[in-house]
């Protein structure tokens, strides 16, 4: 992964930990591990919180009715790729 994306991935991991007040460090989130259910164990409410934090921090909306949400939120790496492609700030 290019250095800029690795930096963004670390930033996104920190945003997830902060938004959800998780008792882990951002480095503990494996890039390819599922965010939902198994893996990090987030539920739909957690995903909404992450989407809100991403929207505020990166300047674009993650919509609940987006058909791609399952793939966008499938892992830290996929969420980072989506943010890199759509961020406005």
Please state the pTM of the whole predicted model. Answer: 0.91
Question: Distance (Å, rounded) from C-alpha 88 to C-alpha 16?
Answer: 19
Question: Residue 81's CB: how many other CB atoms inside 10 A?
Answer: 17
Residue range 44-77, pLDDT digits in tens: 899 999 999 999 999 999 888 888 999 999 999 9
All structural domains of the chain, each given as residue ranges with its CATH number in brackets, are 3-86 (1.10.1200.10)
Question: Distance (Å, rounded) from C-alpha 19 to C-alpha 58?
Answer: 14
Residue 2 has pLDDT above 70, yes or no: no
**Secondary structure of 41-53 as H, E, C letters:** CECHHHHHHHHHH
Question: Distance (Å, rounded) from C-alpha 72 to C-alpha 89?
Answer: 19
pLDDT score, position 63: 84
DSSP state at residue 28 = G
């Amino acid at each position: 992964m290019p250095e800029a994306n690795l930096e963004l991935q670390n930033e996104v991991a920190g945003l997830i930990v902060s938004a959800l007040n998780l008792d882990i460090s951002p480095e503990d989130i494996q890039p390819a591990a599922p965010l939902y259910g198994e893996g990090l164990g987030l539920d739909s409410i957690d995903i909404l919180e992450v989407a809100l934090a991403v929207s505020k921090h990166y300047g674009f909306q993650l919509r609940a009715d987006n058909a791609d949400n399952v793939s966008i939120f499938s892992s830290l790496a996929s969420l980072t790729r989506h943010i890199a492609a759509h961020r406005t700030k």
